[in-house]
A and B are shown apart, each in its own frame.
Chain A
Amino acid sequence: MASEQPQQGGIRLKVRVNGEQHESVVDPRMNLADYLREELRLTATHVGCEHGVCGICNVLVDGQTVRSCLMLAVQVDGKEVLTVEGLAEGGKLHPIQEAFIEEHGLQCGFCTGGFMMAICELFDRNPSPSEEEIKEVVGGQICRCTGYNAILRSVQNAAAKMGASRS
């Protein structure tokens, strides 16, 4: 809902997160990452730099990857948010998660959610991306453990898995 007059204190917010409808009253300055973590207790969205560089806090808003530290919670009013918690369904891992396990695409696992969310959007836009297209997306996030080779392998593996499940 657009707010036509300035508001301080609590602003009412309705948002669907991982398919579940939430209604909250938030401080306008609260960013989306803090809202997900503090208010909804969805702590799989990790926070790495709070200034938009590392990409660890990526979530999908209406299907697009955003840095959740660079968006205010009030800005997702009326929107659909997907976080890492929404990837696995019915006790079954998402193919991207499976691929990261198979290719050892994670070590400490702190940044991995940010990569997976960006990769979700990549596959939505382009189910069989080239290596350059994968790098363009992977290049928006920082991982300190893996050296990225294994992450690239994970994305390629996931693309193959998801292609196979489509055909």
Chain B
Amino acid sequence: MAIEIPKNLDELPTTRPRYVGRGIRRVEDVGLLTGRVEFVDDVVLPRMLHCAILRSPFPHARITGVDTQAAEALEGVAAVVTGEDARRWSLPAQSSPEGWGTHCIAGDKVHYVGEPVAAVAASSRRVAEDALELIEVDYEPLEPVADPFKAMKPESPQVLDAQETNVMLDRVFTWGDVDGAFAEAAHVFQEKFRWNRLGANPTETFGCISEWDPMSLDLTIHGSIQSPGMFGLGRAATFSLPSNKVNIISHAHGGSFGGKGGTRGCDISCLLSRKVDGRPVKWIEDRGEYLLSGGGQAWDRHYEVALAVDAQGIVSGLKVGLVDDLGATGEAYGAISAAKPLAAFTGPYTIPVAQYDLKLVATNKLPCGPYRGMGPPPHFFVLEQMMDIAARSLGEDPAEFRRKNFIPADQFPYTIASGNEYDSGNYGEVLDQVLALSDYSALRAAQVEARAEGRLVGVGVANAIEPGVFDWNAYAIVGMPGTGVPEGATVNIDILGNATVRVGFSLEGQGQYTLVCQLVADYFGYEPENVRVVQLDTQSAPPSFGPGGSRLGVAITGAVLGACERIREKMARVVAVLMQSEPENIEFMDGKFTLKGAPGAEMTVAEVAGTMLARSDLLPPDIDPRPEATHVWTAAGRTPADEEGRAKSYLTAAHAVHIVQVEIDPETGMVEIQRYCLADDCGTRLNPDTVEGQTEGSVVQGIGAALLEEYVYDEDAQPLTTSFMDYLMPTVFDAPKLEMVAVETPSPFTPLGAKGCGEGAIHTTPAAVMCAINDALAPLGTSAREVPAAPMRLWKLIKEARERASDENNNY
């Protein structure tokens, strides 16, 4: 029988949900606050060794010799591995696009600063680092290339020997008659933008403990691993192992934001473990390693964008040209970030035709990886700047210009030019809510006064779509085939009626274990305390991708409710037998099974579970007597991508409008955020406190992106931001007080109507802050086209604008 998963809160078997839809005390918190939750670096295994990795100081060089003898001789050193071991026991990393991966330890050549060239396993991390200093590597430096435009030229140094070019992908995707739209446009606006490389920087870096038994070839890895299932498959491929030989035990981790990375270091620890007969080898990436060569450096982008607008001010076409500097290889799947904008290419607007001229280019920098939002945040930064440029040029208010281009609320589900389908939305309502919250007209009035005093005060209005519940088909254009991302959960009721839910993902911060407890409590009429969530390793867990792609909240809701439904169905059959009736006469509400038309005939879930477990002899043989069920949820209706990359990919489309007020100090270029208001709609809020927390955190990451964070490389591809002194993470002083309001337009496609919301505000915040900055700069006739808007950059723009103005005055 098909399982019907409740589509909204009313369909839950409860008179009134007591937990779902409310913020509750998180079940994760006590363990985290008392230090009892075990992070991977807290784990000590018997006979464990510690790994340290020697990294290349050159961005591009031949390796002509590696001498490890002195290191091997140091007391406490158990093994040293080099590129030779990597070639013997592993394959080059899988990559996107295909063929752009290298071995985890460099062989003949290094391709970026920080690439591993050797590694040590020793009795302590201190000794391992001592040993690194004894390894001698002979390098023959080669000319590096740090600029993707230079890298695209035929005379450029070649980054990977295995390729004949530095261009990983060069294609134009056209959706509709774009040339026609631009030819007929009343107005065409064009601009270039630069988004500098930034990254995830979770407070806990990557860490792992690997045990690779050289006899059985069983590989067990403990780690701070965001997607253990995928991670395990990746290791099986790298080490040519059957997938069932690899077991991943993921520990709670200190955030990820997509940027946990760690595959290279993990693979190196595996090689070391194999070399020391399977002893456990721990590798904890330190912050220096993370900043130099860790996961999550993302979005090193050069844009050229054009917008066609008709005589009524309706946007009729969009062209986005992107040169994406992916760094040396495709191993970290940075290319996906260039593909994901297809899921929401035209944002919340009705823009009917669009074009994406995409070039993915290799340079001698760290390979780019994923970061929260996976690519659309820079895309919306450029789209929203273009909307402002058009509005300003046409003399229209930026809020109202956007409103008249919104997809109307009655047009959903709505298919956008790049092929994805938006589930639901009410963009005008979201805009109205934030206009009211911010008292927008008062902000504009205050701006007029400030400008009269010569102050640079600006108001930004920006909005974006957060594609939620990802599917692989969204990334078809960069060589990720297939559809379907399953998430499973097993719900078990014990003999006293308490529930245990077994899942395949670990704690990461978003509070999904609490959500599971809320769901099961409301479904079975329990208290959250009656529900326990247990994480299993990849060999035991139900299919799981884990958190990522703003997906897990929706997916685990589907999995848990599906499993609950299966248990209810099974129990209804048991109750029917016990009450000598038929299952269709058994009803379930508020934790009790009742018999239609027989008042007083009822059984609690605990009673049914107790009967099933203790008295299976009373049940017909065709009834499974375990009060347990597994459900694996996958988004329905996803379609393979066509030639132009068009697919029904991400299942949900959340929407938010942010209004930001800034003031720029014209003498220093420093930006102060004076107000920050936002309205957002991510469908049904299963736990509003959690959504709020995700939003607050994501806004501040977005502010970091707009104002502070940047991985700087010099012209020779040397990284200059390799400590937290130089890579500037936002602190409380950079975080404005947030004023927020929620709109709820449930998704028709998901369990309970919830939409993906985990990546959230970073889609909108950089755009909104930059719109505000450019609004402030507008009277000077200049604008910021580069992110982050560092004070030095703004100062330079202001200075140049004033010099131009004074030159013009002198000409009169």
B34 contacts across to A, CB distance below 8 A? 44, 84-85, 87-88, 93, 97
A49 touches B126 (CB 8 A): no
B33 touches A108 (CB 8 A): no
Known contacts A108-B253, A147-B735; A46 and B698 CB within 8 A of each other? no
A122 within 8 A of partner (CB)? no
B255 touches A144 (CB 8 A): yes
B384 within 8 A of partner (CB)? no
Question: Which of the 9-residue segments B107-115, B438-446, B505-513 touches chain A?
Answer: B505-513
B30 touches A51 (CB 8 A): no
A113 contacts across to B, CB distance below 8 A? 33, 35
| Bound complex: CA A47 to CA B204 (Å) | 8
A112 touches B733 (CB 8 A): no
B699 touches A93 (CB 8 A): no
A27 touches B126 (CB 8 A): yes
Closest to A115 in B: B732
Complex interface residues of chain B between 22 and 39 (CB less than 8 A to chain A) = 23, 25-26, 28-30, 32-39
Taking the closest CB of chain A, its distance from the CB of B261, in whole angstroms, is 15
A41 contacts across to B, CB distance below 8 A? 44
Query: Out of B203, B511, B724, B733, which one reaches A111, CB within 8 Å?
Result: B203
A149 touches B737 (CB 8 A): yes
Query: Out of B42, B253, B700, B733, which one reaches A43, CB within 8 Å?
Result: B42
A151 touches B732 (CB 8 A): yes
B275 within 8 A of partner (CB)? no
Query: Out of A56, A100, A150, which one reaches B203, CB within 8 Å?
Result: A56
| Bound complex: CA A44 to CA B732 (Å) | 23
A10 within 8 A of partner (CB)? no
| Bound complex: CA A104 to CA B34 (Å) | 15
Known contacts A101-B26, A110-B254, A152-B732; A145 and B509 CB within 8 A of each other? yes
Known contacts A85-B35, A139-B731; A147 and B724 CB within 8 A of each other? no
Taking the closest CB of chain A, its distance from the CB of B678, in whole angstroms, is 12
Q: How many residues on chain A are close to B (CB under 8 Å)?
A: 55
Complex interface residues of chain B between 237 and 259 (CB less than 8 A to chain A) = 252-255, 257
Complex interface residues of chain B between 320 and 350 (CB less than 8 A to chain A) = none
A51 touches B725 (CB 8 A): yes
Taking the closest CB of chain B, its distance from the CB of A19, in whole angstroms, is 16
**Which one of A38, A45, A113, A144 has the greatest number of beta carbons of chain B within 10 Å?**
A144
B202 touches A147 (CB 8 A): no
Taking the closest CB of chain A, its distance from the CB of B129, in whole angstroms, is 11
B254 touches A109 (CB 8 A): yes
B484 within 8 A of partner (CB)? no
B41 within 8 A of partner (CB)? yes
| Bound complex: CA A110 to CA B507 (Å) | 11
B187 within 8 A of partner (CB)? no
Taking the closest CB of chain B, its distance from the CB of A74, in whole angstroms, is 15
Known contacts A106-B32, A148-B700, A150-B696; A135 and B732 CB within 8 A of each other? yes
B697 within 8 A of partner (CB)? yes
Taking the closest CB of chain A, its distance from the CB of B312, in whole angstroms, is 39
A50 touches B696 (CB 8 A): no
B509 contacts across to A, CB distance below 8 A? 106-109, 145
A44 touches B725 (CB 8 A): no
A54 within 8 A of partner (CB)? yes
A135 contacts across to B, CB distance below 8 A? 732-733
A22 within 8 A of partner (CB)? no
| Bound complex: CA A20 to CA B642 (Å) | 67
A143 within 8 A of partner (CB)? yes
Complex interface residues of chain B between 458 and 502 (CB less than 8 A to chain A) = none
0/1 per residue, A122-147, Cβ < 8 Å to B? 00000000000001001111111111
Taking the closest CB of chain A, its distance from the CB of B32, in whole angstroms, is 3
| Bound complex: CA A104 to CA B690 (Å) | 8
Closest to B511 in A: A107
Closest to B695 in A: A147
A104 touches B731 (CB 8 A): no
B286 touches A107 (CB 8 A): no
B287 within 8 A of partner (CB)? yes
B550 within 8 A of partner (CB)? no
Known contacts A51-B724, A84-B35, A101-B25; A144 and B201 CB within 8 A of each other? yes
Known contacts A44-B35, A50-B287, A97-B33; A147 and B511 CB within 8 A of each other? no
Given contact pairs A97-B34, A144-B255, A147-B738, enumerate 4 new A-B contacts (beta carbons under 8 Å): A43-B38, A46-B254, A93-B30, A144-B202
Q: Which 7 A-B pairs have the closest CB atoms?
A: A44-B35, A110-B254, A109-B32, A108-B509, A107-B509, A147-B700, A53-B724
A-B contact pairs, 11 of them (CB 8 A): A27-B126, A30-B126, A48-B204, A49-B287, A49-B724, A84-B34, A102-B25, A140-B731, A142-B724, A147-B701, A148-B732
